Copies of this chain bind each other. A is one copy, B any other.
Amino acid sequence: MDKTLILQDFLPYRLSVLSNRISRSIAQLYEKQFRLTMPEWRVMAILGEKSGLSAGQVADRTAMDKVAVSRAVASLMAAGRLDRKTASDDRRRSVLSLSKKGKDVYAKVVPLACDYEARLIERLSPLDRRNLDVVLSKLTEIQIKTAVPGETTR
């Protein structure tokens, strides 16, 4: 046998395991209690940050694909958590924002999410946190440039 891959040391694998575990933990904070799926929460989070985006803009900013956004928007609309208007200058485009009900949910979920993140990083030293931030940014930057042609850059 020529070469062996040590999965436990393989960066993409380590990242994937860590990220999936964290995502699942956070999802637990809102899925049951607020009947929110992860894509729904992402859409709400981005609209809570900046209102009036179109579905496409939401997709760009959340790294979701447009079908996922479309579905999340549909279910959020059905739950009365979003307002949707048609853009006056382009009738294909929607203009999305959190409804009153949506804002109430948002205001309840944000502290849970922030609290989780705080408890995650409080065990890292300030230097570790800084290093994490720097390295994540660099990798994200690299990753974008490394994107294979034919892959959806989203």
- Listed in ascending order, the chain A residues whose CB lies under 8 Å from chain B are 1-8, 10-26, 28-29, 32-33, 42, 45-46, 48-49, 61-63, 103, 107, 110-111, 113-114, 116-117, 119-121, 123-124, 128, 131-132, 134-136, 138-140, 142-144, 146-151
| Given contact pairs A1-B103, A18-B143, A23-B16, A33 touches B148 in the complex (Cβ within 8 A) | yes
How many monomers of this chain does the complex have? 2
A124→B138 contact, CB < 8 A? yes
State the Cβ distance, A50 to closest chain B Cβ, in Å. Answer: 9
Contact among B4, B12, B132, B142 with A110 in the assembled complex (CB-CB below 8 Å): B4
The residues of B that contact A22 with a CB separation of less than 8 Å are 11-12, 15-16, 143
